[in-house]
Structure 1
Amino acid sequence: MSTMSIANNAYQMAAQLQQQAKAIEDPTPVREQVDFGQMVQSAVENVVDQGRVADAKAVGLIEGKTDVVDVVTAVAEAEVTLETMVAVRDRVISAYEEIMRMPI
């Protein structure tokens, strides 16, 4: 299974769980407007935060304050987050290109 399909499956499952949780909390369905720009900004901030955590853990390892396992885990989490962001970016670009090919 490729990273893109894993990320896509994870996103779909998270969306389904969120919808189920909302249905349990409020029986009357209310559509919320989602700001795409805000969603992208929060995703980029998440990637940056994961990178900073990995950097801090690496510095902690050099200083002797952090365990190697913590550093490897933080770097792996940052890598997965970045790969997910790249996969989403690729899908957005692909969708944009497909829309641009549509006849008016």
Structure 2
Amino acid sequence: MITSSIAATAYDRARQAVAPAEGAPQGVTSAAADFARVMEQVDLAATGAMTGQSDTHELVQSIAQAEIALETVVAIRDKVVEAYQEILRMPV
């Protein structure tokens, strides 16, 4: 059975695993930092909504922003994978 403490621990480990890497190109690093900032805002809004410290409207807005950011990241990832596959198909 999954408890809230197990879920929180797994979430914390996952956040550390997807943190922006050191030594990555500047554009990639800033984009990853922006994405991480959006996700942090969602996390804060969700925590505030659960504890009653923030408005539900703020939570809905932050979830919408996170959805847009996630769709953008997935689209970029798809393009990178497509480009990589195209490179692999090139004759040597």
Could you say whether these structures have the same fold, taking a TM-score greater than 0.5 normalized by the shorter chain as the test?
yes
Cα distance in 2, alignment partners of residues 56 and 41 from structure 1: 22
Cα RMSD over matched residues? 1.5
Selected match of 2:28 from 31, 34, 40:
40
Moved over 6 A (4+): none
Instruction: Output the TM-score relative to the length of structure 2.
Output: 0.67
The alignment covers a number of residue pairs equal to 69
Gaps of 5+ in 1: 1-35
Instruction: Output the TM-score relative to the length of structure 1.
Output: 0.60
Corresponding residue of 2:64: 76
Superposition map of 1:18-57 within 5 A = 37-57=25-45
Gaps of 5+ in 2: 1-23
Q: Which amino acid aligns with 1:53?
A: Q
Percent identity between matched residues is 41
